[in-house]
Amino acid sequence: MGPQAVITAAQRKELQKALKRQLVSRISLLKIVSAWIITLPVSAFLAALFYFVLRGMMLP
């Protein structure tokens, strides 16, 4: 058998911190994407609603 890589406790702790930072950024990215997916259709609907309400007010 070949030599095994030995990881110290400090190296293990740094690795866990790096992995945690990576996971946090993925969660943040998912929140941003989901906010855009929700916000864009809602704002388009409200814009259309305001347009038709104002258009209806202007008709004789």
E-state strands within the chain: none
Task: Specify the pTM.
Answer: 0.52
pLDDT digits (tens, 9 = 90+) for 1-14: 456 778 898 999 99
pLDDT digits (tens, 9 = 90+) for 2-59: 567 788 989 999 988 888 877 778 888 899 999 999 999 999 999 999 999 999 988 8
CA distance 41 to 6: 53
Q: Which residue's structure tokens are 């058998």? A: 1
Domain ranges of the chain: 1-60
CA distance 20 to 14: 10
Cα R_g (the chain), whole angstroms: 26
